[in-house]
Structure 1
Amino acid sequence: MVEIKTPGQIAKMRAAGLVVAEIHRRTAEAAVPGATTKDLDDIAAQVLAEHGAKPNFLGYGGFPATICTSVNDVVVHGIPDRKTVLKSGDLLSIDAGAIVDGWHADAALTVFVGEGHAPRLVELNRVTEESLWAGIAAMRKGNRLVDVSRAIETYIRRQPLPESGRYGIVEQYGGHGIGSEMHMDPHLLNYVDRRRGRGPRLIPGLCLAIEPMISLGTPDTHVLPDEWTVKTNDGSWAAHWEHSVALTEQGPLVLTAPDGGREKLAALGVTAAPDPLA
């Protein structure tokens, strides 16, 4: 069953989304050479406490931290700790979530630590982020779930290839429904698999966490013995971007973007829905 939200419930998810946006702002600023990933986790916990929000990662399936911090060839689910010290040149994904009044938001961004990043990494990060927005722009009333997947994959495949000769669209993980729980139906692929059909129709009240994950090599991954950390099989570096998005009668509302997605969507010819908390 796909959960359909009322406008009031979407407003609560927007409140949670703004907390996630603040976590991202503060942790991204603190992601400097010499900081540990546990330092960032502590900041995220502080932001949640300041806003009276609850973490949705901590304790989920036994996950031991407030956020996920995934460095370089770690795609997703990296566990913050004191041993992982960030250095100039690192590529860091910060995945964060929040619960407000029982309603969830979830988002990720990938940031550069320090300076000296190779052009191929800058382009990898750009392609990943822009493929996310292509998917969000496809979240229109009357479309189907596969149209979001197709928009993400099409954007990626149309980009010039990096020196490695390929972008690997990670297949084992993808987006998901979100609302009264963090992970809900439907599962959202970041590519088209015709065996899965077209998926449900997109209707107002549907909320999705859209999250492309792309590597500079293989799409194949493995999980470390900690049972969480996901790395690429060939050691290629990866980027990860995510937003929680609600489809409303007025169009998509990006719950975890400070401006609700207005600027990015306008550049794609899409009008973002009004912010219920504005």
Structure 2
Amino acid sequence: MSYKIYEINEALREFIPKEIVDLEERATWGNPKRGVMDLPYTKELIEEHSLCAGCPESMALRYILASLPNPEDTIIVNSTGCTSLVFPHIALHTVHSLFGNQNAVASGIKRVLEWRFPDKVKDVVVLAGDGAIVDIGLDCTLQSFFRQEKITTICFDNEVYANTGGQESGMTVKGHVFKMAPKGKQWDKVPMWQIAIDSGCHYVARLTVSSPKRVESVIKKAIYVAREVGPTYVHLYTPCILEIGLNSDDGLDEMRQRDKERFSFFEYMTPQAEEVINRVKEEGLL
């Protein structure tokens, strides 16, 4: 891992768009207390990213990127899906995996980093959609939990295969109809947050991204616990507003509504995780 990947070639700097230059010049590296309140003054993601207008995933990505306590020494492993569209537009180390094996790739990266840099903190974060984490990649996801890999897994749950036309997924709500699922979902939504608990995760949270400060708190807790104890899992509701028939400015209202029902805030931690979180709070990092 090298800081040079963030640096623009000086011979080309005058030709690079300003918002790309800002990713380097307005980054907040070396500040573990960074957070969403810094977003008005810092640069984490370019405005002309590839996600749809109003997509809640873009909000979630900005909050997560702003909340990483150690971005300069963090590797994000992503997978096929809507989330993969945005990673060319950030200035962090990212690895794109095949669809579904992102937790296996992340496990290998984490082990190599621990061997190569035994005296330095290197965080590995999986960030992918519900199709990659719960449907296609459930085996790799659970096996990383079973092995107690020290990685954080973040699932963007839009409850549909959004970038391939609107097929139902295991995360789709029972009875929901999509244009490529006209009969409606025939069984209940998979409770992945409970599966994560049963599979050995030490910190688990379920929430929407309607509250930036809550997202920041959850992401930091998950990463700090993963560093010291074992696997952590964060389940974020990021609805595909187009597939559920809403306008591009309706995403926030949709998430606020689900805050009161299916995605009311839920948090779980083991005693080991609670000990880490309390210590980090005392250090002023949460």
Q: Name the TM-score, length of structure 2 as normaliser.
A: 0.30
The structure with the larger Rg is 2
Report the structure, 1 or 2, having the larger helix content. 2
Q: Name the TM-score, length of structure 1 as normaliser.
A: 0.31
Report the structure, 1 or 2, having the larger strand content. 1
If asked which structure has higher relative contact order (CA below 8 Å, sep 6+), I would say: 1
